[in-house]
Amino acid sequence: MYKVLIVDDEKMIRMGMSKGLPWEELKVSEVYQAGSAPEALEIIKEKQPDILITDINMPEMTGLELIQRANELQADMKIIVLTGYDRFDYARECIRMHVEDLYLKPIDEEVLTEAIRRQIDAIEKQRASAVMENTMRRVRGNTEQMRLERLMRQLVHQREAEETELQWMYQEYSLSPGQELQIAILIPQQSGRRDEREDNYWLMSIKEICIGLVDGRGQGITFPDDEGTGKILVAFFNHGYVNEIYERIQELISIMKDEMIAAPRIVLGSSVKGFSRLYISYNDAVHLSKEKGDGAKEVLQSGRTGKRGMLFHDIYEEFKTAMCSNVGNSEYVLRVFDAFSQAVVSYNVTETSVRKYCFDLANAVSFAYVSSTGGSLRQGQLEELMRHIMNVDGQNACEITRAFLQQLFGEEKEVINDLIPKVRRYVDDHLEEELSVSSIAARFYITPNYLSKLYKKVTGEGCNEYIVRRRIETAQKLLKSTNLKTGKIAAMVGYRDTNYFSVAFKKYTGYSPTVFRSRFRTGAADEDEEE
């Protein structure tokens, strides 16, 4: 999605453009307005719009001066100029400043719409080119390639990946954390020879072909599986086209048949949403390959979603084994349980099955814990758990079971004492971002409901209430001690809409931001303007 800034000293013109154009159709998510060039420069610094639409004749600073300053701040911004004067010198200056379009006022809405669409198309081509350049640089650069491969292996094998590494990947290759993905496992066919060097040669050949056809086109990421498996993995990007991935795989097979003695077998996992769930697609592919054995079929894929339940049962057994084998490490057990809770959602496990799995896990872990540590269960504790979860939905069943495990390990108090201060620090450090209970819960690997209940229980205040309170308190300090405009302060504390901020501020303090500043400021000159 794209951001547009409209600059004109006539409010009616600004409002007309902001309300009259089909922004959603143009893939524009944010439309900012400025009544002067200085105000526009502040918005450019803060919001970094993709397209600037500006008048030339304005007080304080002309549109041409604004363009010059804007180019210094953001060289890649597309610029459309509107003017009421048909003057050659304006056109000449616009050309010199690399302005994309110059139009005389009044401009037809359809003409302006088409001009914006043309600039958005140009931006998309530039970005696609940049992604391709990054991809090819990555392919050529061994260090960067190894970095990406290591991160992808961490994701498919559920190893902890650094958040900084994930952000690097998303930014460097213009990827979305919620990208639809499918893992394909490429298994080299046995050639009858057991020469290790030859095996490595075929493996590298498969990898290079995939990188050229998939990565080079921005259609996925190729990487080897863990050392010793002799398999290449491809995380295909799924854009929802019918047979999209299957057609790409058939192209790969066709080329590999020409280049190699025997093309590899390809096993395709299920489609998942988000890099964090990539392991589910990988596990699907692994189980499918085991289920089908060494048959001659070139491409294996599950055609029925009903099989996901059977696949999940096998994965569940892995979760249970991991938890029961590590009862001495309560932190690890709870982390595995959280992964289980996410998996039941991804696999669309029925509510009845979730409750059954939860109780079975609690029972198995309890037995393993008592046997391993010599501890004991409170009489009727498991029966109590059964009563609590038998009539609730799957999410609540997971939350209740997690609380049971925490009590079993005697860690609920410790978890509470550790978690709540961390949540508060996180909120305080990220006030300018779009905070929600869901996003915070995801950050700490717990469910939103559990966080809400726990926070309220410990502090007596709702988590959302705390977010609002800290935002308003921070805004109060800024209004008292700075000359920053209300709109700027609103953005600094997480409000994208200045009017909404003013309403929230008044509801909390009893004053509008302007009145509050005039009454309580601590020495700064009163230069603020109500937005």
DSSP alpha helix (H) spans, 214-306 = 244-259, 278-292
- Read off the pLDDT of each residue in 32-38 and give the average, rounded to a whole number: 89
Q: Are 283 and 269 in contact (CB under 8 A)?
A: yes
* pLDDT of 148 above 60: yes
- State the CB neighbour count (10 A cutoff) for residue 253: 16
> What CATH number corresponds to the domain at position 258?
3.30.70.1230
Alpha-carbon gap, residue 148 to 358, rounded angstroms: 36
pLDDT for 62 equals 81
Where among 375, 393, 410 does a domain terminate? 410
- Write the CATH number for 11: 3.40.50.2300
Alpha carbon 152 to its chain centroid, in Å, reads 16
Q: Decide: residue 54, CB within 10 A, 0-12 exposed, 13-18 middle, 19+ buried.
A: buried
**Residue 362 — very low, low, confident or very high, per pLDDT cuts 50/70/90?**
very high
The reply to whether 220 and 348 lie within a common domain is: no
Average confidence (pLDDT) over 63-78: 83
- How far apart CA 461 and CA 509 sit, in angstroms, is 18
73 in Cβ contact with 41 (< 8 Å): yes
How far apart are alpha carbons 152 and 303 in whole angstroms? 26
- Quote the CA–CA distance of 424 and 458 in Å, as a whole number: 12
Provide the token pair at 162. Answer: 């650094």
Q: Is residue 249 part of a domain?
A: yes
Q: Are 21 and 84 in a shared domain?
A: yes
**Residue 13 pLDDT grade (very low, low, confident, very high; cuts 50, 70, 90):** confident
Going by C-alpha positions, the residue among 189, 196, 184, 202 that lies closest to residue 251 is 184
Q: How many residues does the chain have?
A: 531
Q: Is residue 232 part of a domain?
A: yes
Task: Spell out the residues 6+ positions from residue 52 whose beta carbon is closer than 8 angstroms to its own.
Answer: 4, 5, 7, 40, 44, 67, 70, 77, 78, 79, 80
> Tokens 């209300």 correspond to what residue?
486
| pLDDT tens string 447-467 | 676 677 778 888 888 888 899
The Cα 496–Cα 343 span in angstroms is 34
Q: In what order do the strands lie in the sheet with 28-34?
A: 28-34, 2-7, 51-55, 78-83, 101-104
Give, in order, the Cα–Cα distances in Å from 459 to each of 53, 278, 436, 454.
Answer: 48, 36, 17, 8
Q: Are residues 297 and 331 in the same domain?
A: no
Quote helix, strand, coil % in the chain, to nearest 5. Answer: 60, 10, 30
Same domain, 79 and 34: yes
Neighbour-count burial for 206-217, b at 16+ CB within 10 Å, e otherwise: bbebbbebbbee
Both 108 and 11 in one domain: the answer is yes
Determine contact, residues 27/35, Cβ cutoff 8 Å. Answer: no
Q: How confident is the model at residue 444 (pLDDT cuts 50, 70, 90)?
A: low
pLDDT tens digits for range 188-233: 775 554 556 666 777 788 888 888 888 877 889 999 988 666 789 9
| Structural domain includes residue 201 | yes
Amino acid (one-letter) located at 363: N
pLDDT of residue 90: 60
Q: Total domain count for the chain?
A: 4
Residue 130 has pLDDT above 70, yes or no: no
- Strand-pair partners of 223: 233
* 525: helix, strand or coil: coil
Q: Is the pLDDT of residue 92 over 60?
A: yes
108: its two tokens: 């037809």
How confident is the model at residue 370, as a pLDDT?
A: 84
Residues 314 and 294 in one domain: no
**Is 419:331 a contact under the CB 8 Å cutoff?**
no
- Phi/psi of residue 80, each to 5°? -120, 125
Same domain, yes or no: 89 and 119: yes
In a domain, 193, yes or no: yes
Band (pLDDT 50/70/90 cuts) for residue 152 is very high
Give the pLDDT score at 82.
80
**Whether 266 and 359 share a structural domain:** no
What CA–CA distance (Å, rounded) separates 50 from 52? 7
Q: Mean pLDDT in the chain?
A: 80
Q: Is residue 435 part of a domain?
A: no
In this structure, how many other beta carbons lie within 10 angstroms of the beta carbon of residue 293? 7
Quick one: which of 465, 455, 461 has its CA closest to 504?
Answer: 465
Do residues 315 and 292 share a domain?
A: no
- The answer to whether residue 459 sits within a structural domain is no
Of 264, 275, 245, the residue nearest 167 (C-alpha): 275
Report CA-CA distances (Å) from 79 to 52, 206, 340, 470: 5, 45, 50, 38
pLDDT surpassing 90 at residue 75: no
**406 in a domain, yes or no?**
yes
In the structure encoding, which two tokens stand for residue 250, read together? Answer: 């058939």
Final residue of a structural domain among 93, 128, 163: 128
Mean pLDDT on 306-330: 78
Beta bridge partners of 55: 82
- pLDDT above 80 (res 333): yes
**Identity of the residue numbered 74:** Q
What is the distance between the alpha carbons of residues 403 and 412, in angstroms, rounded to a whole number?
7
What CATH number is given to the structural domain containing 505?
1.10.10.60
The mean-pLDDT minimum among 155-159, 244-248, 259-263 falls in 259-263
Whether residue 84 sits in one domain with residue 59: yes
Residue 52 has pLDDT above 70, yes or no: yes
Q: Read off the amino acid at residue 314.
A: D
For residues 2-22, average pLDDT: 85
Residue 194, in any domain of the structure: yes
Domain that holds residue 215: 155-303
pLDDT at position 28 over 80: yes
Of 476, 473, 502, 475, give the one whose Cα is nearest residue 489: 475
Residues 285 and 207 in one domain: yes
pLDDT tens digits for 474-530? Answer: 999 999 888 888 999 999 998 888 888 898 899 889 999 999 998 887 544 444 444
Same domain, 405 and 474: no
157: left (phi over 0), alpha (psi -120 to 50) or beta: alpha
More confident residue, 181 or 413: 181
Q: Tokens at residue 457, please?
A: 């229980």
Q: Shortest CA distance to 51 belongs to which of 118, 125, 130?
A: 118
Q: Which of 414, 272, 395, 286 is nearest to 338 (CA)?
A: 395
What confidence tier does 306 reach under pLDDT thresholds 50, 70, 90?
very low
Residue of 13, 57, 9 whose CA lies nearest to 34: 9
